[in-house]
Amino acid sequence: MNVEISVVLPCLNEEETIGACIEKSKKAFEECKMEGEVIVVDNGSTDKSVEISLALGARVVKEEEKGYGSALRRGIEESKGYYIVMGDADDTYDYLEMPKFIKFLKLGYDLVMGSRFKGEILPGAMTWSHRYIGNPILSGMLRLFFGGTVSDSHCGLRAFTKDAYKKMNLHTTGMEFASEMVIHSMKKKLKITEVTITYYPRKGESKLSSLRDAWRHMRFMLLYSPNNLFLLPGALMFLIGTIASIKLLFGPIYLAGRTYDIHVMMFSGLLMILGWQIFNIGITAKIYAHQIGLEESSFTTMLITKFSLERSMLLGGIFLLTGLGIGVYVLTVWVQGGFGFGAIVPAAAKWAQLKTTLLSLVFITLGIQTIFSAFLSSMLQIKYK
């Protein structure tokens, strides 16, 4: 039998529903007029899920490592079909809708996503918090961070080609597997579309842990988006700190009837250092993402080609020399003033010298940060065969 479609169903104690999912999948194969197989990935079931699956002609594969992603990856690796459909084994998705997924794959799309929100969510199928808070926020974050127009990025019913799956190069083991697939597909410039589906109430016990799974999705999106996790916050902190420090260097700030001077400048200097360090971490993360083939943006390419180790060290050297130069100026003034034992110095002049000293230390720190960050970035660009 030349298998063309593989349906992969991760399963953990789904004896009430696994049979319906298998039977609907087989009917869908007939409607598609294509040969298909159903792969049930047993992730540690203690009920009759395995027996029911075997009795209905499904191929059962056992996956010892717990997790939604682990089960799906194992099932996909075992699949024989070129077209792969993945979904849940709890009968919340109607596998009779499979033909419209296959239709778009045949038209040249790499990934076809089901959309519950553009389709229909039956009463009791999704909790209020998931429908109006959790899923919209997570899907919105994904669109904000990575672009695209996917309306339901965490829908479990989706189809893709085996070639597309190989390009995705997925690694996660938990629920974040759903986000990883969409993110990798967009970063690899795969062709994505959506089809409307109906979402049904679940039968049996839910395996979801709302807060934990939501955090895993958010954590994954942040880790895969160095622009939003590092570059933008770091640049904003550095900019605010720099503006405030320069302003305070030339005199106190009067705001809302209060005076802000050297004590605030200490925090603004710290903000400069912290922001610059976070920004440098972001650049390193972008280069690493490029090296492992996750990101091929023009910005990252420009970073690698324009900001070599030597140029980055030059920038760090400018920061360092600026700080040392300011420090020499402060030392000169101190010596000329008799090391503080000469004439009485006005309080305003003392504050000015302290602020100048603080700025000197900030620039010295920025220089050292830049130089060592440049070496780290260059280490990540070393290619080994």
Higher-scoring residue by pLDDT: 157, 312: 157
DSSP lists the bridge partners of residue 39 as: 8, 59
The predicted structure's pLDDT at residue 221:
86
Structure tokens at 277: 């360090």
Domain boundaries defined on the chain? 5-223, 226-380
| pLDDT of 292 higher than 90 | no
* pLDDT for the residue 48: 95
Residue 360 DSSP SS3:
helix
**Percentage above 90 pLDDT, the chain:** 57
CA angle (279, 150, 32) in 5-degree steps: 140
User: Residue 365 has what pLDDT?
Assistant: 96
Closest CA to 177 of 217, 209, 214: 217
CA dihedral 98, 103, 106, 112 (to 10 degrees): -60
| Residue range 71-85, pLDDT digits in tens | 999 999 999 999 999
Max distance between CA atoms of the chain, in angstroms, equals 99
Of how many residues is the chain composed?
A: 385
Q: State the distance between the two ends of the chain, measured CA to CA, in whole angstroms.
A: 40
pLDDT of residue 259: 80
Q: Model confidence over 50-71: pLDDT tens digits?
A: 999 999 999 999 999 999 999 9
Mean pLDDT along residues 351-378: 90
pLDDT one-digit tens code per residue, 117-134: 999 999 999 988 888 888
Sheet holding 192-199, edge to edge: 59-62, 36-42, 5-11, 83-86, 158-161, 111-121, 192-199
Q: Rounded distance, CA 59 to CA 50, Å? A: 9
- In this predicted structure, the answer to whether residue 347 has a pLDDT above a threshold of 60 is no
Q: What is the mean pLDDT of the chain?
A: 89
Q: Which CATH class is domain 5-223?
A: alpha beta
* Predicted confidence (pLDDT) at residue 239 exceeds the cutoff of 90: yes
Give all strands (DSSP E) within the chain, no chain letters. 5-11, 36-42, 59-62, 83-86, 111-121, 158-161, 192-199, 253-255, 258-260
Nearest to 102 by CA among 59, 161, 153: 161
The DSSP secondary structure of 192-213, one letter per residue, reads EEEEEEEE----S-----HHHH
At 120, which amino acid appears?
E
As a whole number, mean pLDDT of residues 155-168 equals 95
Given pLDDT bands bounded at 50, 70 and 90, which one contains residue 325?
very high
For residue range 199-229, list pLDDT tens digits in order: 999 876 666 666 777 788 888 888 888 888 9
Q: Assess whether pLDDT exceeds 80 at residue 306.
A: no
pLDDT band per the 50, 70, 90 thresholds, residue 147: confident
Q: What CA–CA distance (Å, rounded) separates 360 from 15?
A: 69
Kindly tell me if the per-residue pLDDT of 340 is higher than 80: no
